């Protein structure tokens, strides 16, 4: 089964997670989402695959988020999807996807159960 990492090479956690995957014998497909931005449908799928609180997928410390003048606690799933699709830098990173499951790699070791 293919493992995909939604990756930002400038992010230390993303690099650490990629290294962790490789050190565990996984050669993932790498999706550099800032170079290849996700569609709304792809963001919706990531939200579903990660499960839990969809606000975990959005980075509220970014200038782009502040410019939207939104409060993370008040966001609906639709607003989260729209914001990430319009501003991919807001996507939490890294996200590792395997089959019907996905995990945010913060900390990088959080992805290890996905590999079993």
Q: Which two three-digit tokens encode residue 73?
A: 């606690």
**Helix extents (H) in 53-96:** 63-68, 77-86
**Active-site option among 3, 4, 11, 110:** 11
109 is catalytic: no
Contact 88, 33 (CB under 8 A): yes
| Residues classed as catalytic | 11
């Amino acid at each position: 089964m293919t493992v995909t990492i939604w990756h930002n090479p400038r992010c230390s956690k993303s690099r650490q997670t990629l290294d962790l995957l490789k050190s565990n014998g996984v050669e993932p497909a790498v999706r550099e989402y800032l170079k290849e931005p996700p569609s709304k449908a792809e963001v919706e799928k990531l939200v579903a695959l990660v499960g839990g609180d969809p606000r975990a997928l959005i980075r509220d410390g970014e200038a782009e988020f502040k410019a939207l003048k939104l409060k993370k606690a008040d966001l609906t799933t639709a607003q989260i999807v729209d914001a990430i699709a319009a501003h991919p830098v807001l996507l939490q990173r890294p996200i590792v996807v395997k089959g019907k499951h996905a995990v945010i790699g913060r900390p990088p070791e959080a992805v290890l159960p996905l590999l079993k």
